[in-house]
Structure 1
């Protein structure tokens, strides 16, 4: 079972294809919720070969925390699936 950790938001890279899926209304709603309740669902990341992390799941949560000025996000470090 993965262990929940804190990651620096600046160290997280978003894949290009994922950037096109951002819904600003959803980010705004999550940001308001996170101001009230904090982050309730961790994101998923994988290690990047060049250092840092690549986002696997949780783009809107990441952007919501960035929007409210947070520097860290809770998440799970997962291994990439080999095909």
Structure 2
């Protein structure tokens, strides 16, 4: 079962490959929605040696960052390395 937690946005690392998929217009749309409704869906992260690594929710994370938020609601996923 996934547990919702709150983390500092700066503790979440976005892999370089994921950063390439960022769409600024989508971030702006999500940020506008978050101004009215807050963060309704947590992002997914996995634990790493240097904090946490984003699995899903890049645009939500960047929308919160654009709004100047310091924290993000997350689901901590226990991913297995292959």
Q: TM-score, normalised by structure 2?
A: 0.95
Q: Give the corresponding residue for 1:23.
A: 23
Match of 2:64 in 1: 65
Please list every run of at least 4 consecutive aligned residues from structure 1 whose deviation after the TM superposition is greater than 6 angstroms: none
Q: How many residues align?
A: 82
| Matching of residues 1-83 of structure 1 within 5 Å | 1-49=1-49, 51-83=50-82
Provide the aligned C-alpha RMSD in A.
0.9
Counterparts of 2:38 and 2:13 in 1: how far apart (Å)? 22
User: TM-score, normalised to structure 1's length?
Assistant: 0.94
Gaps in structure 1 of 5+ consecutive residues: none
